[in-house]
Structure 1
Amino acid sequence: MTRNTGVVGTDERLPAPPADGMLWDIATPTLSSRLPGVTMAGFTDRGITPPALRLIPHPAVTLIVVFDGSIAVEDGDGRPYRGSFAIGPGYGDALRALQVDAFSCLQVRLSPVAAHALLGGSAAELDTVIPLDALLGPDSDRLNDRLAAAGTWQQRFAVLDRWFSDRRAAAGSPIDPEVGWSWQRIASRRGAVRVEQLATELGWSRKRLWSRFGSQLGLSPKRAAKLVRFDHAVHRLVAGGPPALVAAEGGYADQSHLHRDVAAFTGLTPGTVTAEPFLAVDDVAWGWPGRGG
């Protein structure tokens, strides 16, 4: 698959004029992951990634596996991180790239349910940024070596998919079916759910749902719904949806409510967030617009 934006979905690279606005060459797997809730994309810097690039919150645990070159980022409290790292759902705090040396990396998005299955209890503690070697231990270096040795993007995707399959088989840390159902309900309804209604449908108390959901997935059901709702809304804005219509159809009380959520997650307004480069590539890397929850 190729597109005239200069982004590639196979191992082939296409030259692209600077006017296309793309900061990276992007590769996507030809086959979906064997594991539900796992998506991957490969990024290669074109040498024009700007410093202070803003990363936009997303309702997934995100792994950035850098196997060539270097990336340095800073979280909202000014803590720097260099190399490969993991980010909790919503990124916890504002996150910006500080320095980017020509790089190639795999970005992996894990739904909170998939993250629990693959990372165990560690996934629930990812409320901010953590170096990948601190999360995975020696497995991090071994994974980087295997990815660097792979000759093509499709081989790298296959390496990572096998690695995830092995980890899932060894994890032995299932979540409560009720918690998994609650996440799927939130995702399928694009965040337009009430925690009280979820608890009622489960036959649980609100307190029990809040406690189990938070301890196993790392965020409250209310925060999860807010983040999923924001994610769908911001991509509709990028696709050209008028803010008033996006708010009305996205489960917001009014346009001001949408404005507050966009500002809370990004520090921007609905009118300015649409120019963010990190969002502009999502239709190619992750299948937006119209990606399922």
Structure 2
Amino acid sequence: MRTFVHGAAVWDVACPQRPSRVAGVTMAGFRVRDLDALRMVPHPAVTLLLEFGAGSPVMDCAGGRQQRGSVVAGPGIGSGGAVWARGENIECVQIRLSPVIARAVLGASPADLDGIVIALDDLWGREASRIRERLGETPSWADRFALTDASLARRHEAGPPVDPEVAWAWHRIVGDRGLVRVDDLAAELGWSRKRLWSRFRSQLGLPPKRAVKLVRFDHAAHRLVAGEAAARVAADTGYVDQSHLHRDVKAFTGATPATVAAEPFLAVDDLAWAGPAAG
């Protein structure tokens, strides 16, 4: 376990020693004594948070709604700056699920999670409590990751796969870092734009055009965190100009590019998610 320090943020971070047995799963462990108003920056994956510590994370969502404890959220959690996390004495395993496998692992379509955060108990029932108890009884991070991975693998094997054409379209978007036109994807598949939109939205939880924008934003945001100038980032990541980048960042986060560049939620990625991204 290593310590991440970024401004006022001080977190202990653990990483698995080997990749998940399920392609499209990445995970990290966090121990946070005092989490104070962390902006959840949208990410192109389904987020699954399994908490087991003495404290309990709190998600403050739009409209004054709150979720406590283990939660799950669809791709793009926190759009518009709508979700903030806080809490004390938090210990958790955070999992990023590629939308391609999320339906099988969760037992529900990511489309049911569009723009919202829900309690894992509401989705998995008693199983969520059992996982929490077992994680709390497990002494090492290596064993916690193994336990979590085994549970995810069982659910994945039992769940329905997405259409191979939909999986191909997602991987193409991720591989091209959002620099692909939806019309071109549909043409390469031999599908109509309407058919691609419908299948993609129902199986992955977001329409293809938003997926393109989200993947492009994610790539640009991490380059901003790395210290690159906004004008250079805009030019290299497919934005018309710096103003276009500014509008997109504002829409996704509710903040300016300069503010996003200092977000610990993004800065921790090089430590916590150093392995292959969930594609």
Q: Is the TM-score greater than 0.5?
A: yes
Q: Which moved further from structure 2: 22-31 or 194-203?
A: 22-31
Contact 1:121–1:216 (8 Å) recurs in 2 = no
Q: Deviations over 1:188-241 (max 9, x none)?
A: 001111110000000000000000000111100001111010001000000011
Partner of residue 179, structure 1: 166
Q: Compute the TM-score of the two structures, normalised by the length of structure 1.
A: 0.89
Cα distance, 1:23 vs. partner? 2.2
Number of the residue aligned with 2:118: 130
Normalising by structure 2, we get a TM-score of 0.93
Task: Give the conservation status (yes or no) of the 8 Å contact 2:234–2:242.
Answer: yes
Q: RMSD over aligned Cα, in angstroms?
A: 1.8
Equivalent residue in structure 2 for 1:279, among 266, 269, 275: 266
Larger RCO, structure (CA 8 Å, separation 6 or more): 2
Separation in 2, partners of 1:246, 1:214: 29
Superposition map of 1:214-225 within 5 A: 214-225=201-212
> Which of the numbers 110, 134, 137 marks the counterpart of 1:149?
137
Q: Distance in 2 between matches of 1:292 and 1:157?
A: 16
Cα 1:148–1:90 shift into 2, 3 Å: same
Cα displacement (A) at 1:74: 1.1
Amino acid aligned to 1:42: G
> Partner letter of residue 67 of structure 1?
F
The within-5 A match list for 1:90-105 is 90-91=76-77, 93=79, 94-97=82-85, 99-105=86-92
Tell me the amino acid that sits aligned with residue 140 of structure 1: A
Structure 1 regions of 5+ residues with no counterpart? 8-17
The partner residue of 1:270 within 257, 263, 273 is 257
Task: State the 1:92 CA deviation.
Answer: 5.6
Letter paired with 2:219: H
- Determine whether 1:163 maps to 2:148: no
Query: Which one is further off, 72-81 or 193-202?
Result: 72-81
Aligned-pair distance for 1:123?
A: 2.6
- Secondary structure at the aligned position of 1:26 is classed as strand
Q: How many residues align?
A: 275
1:116·1:124 contact (CA, 8 Å) conserved in 2? no
User: 1:20 and 1:253 mapped to 2: Cα distance?
Assistant: 32
Query: Is the aligned partner of 1:48 residue 2:13?
Result: no
Is residue 92–residue 129 contact of structure 1 (8 Å, CA) maintained in 2? Answer: no
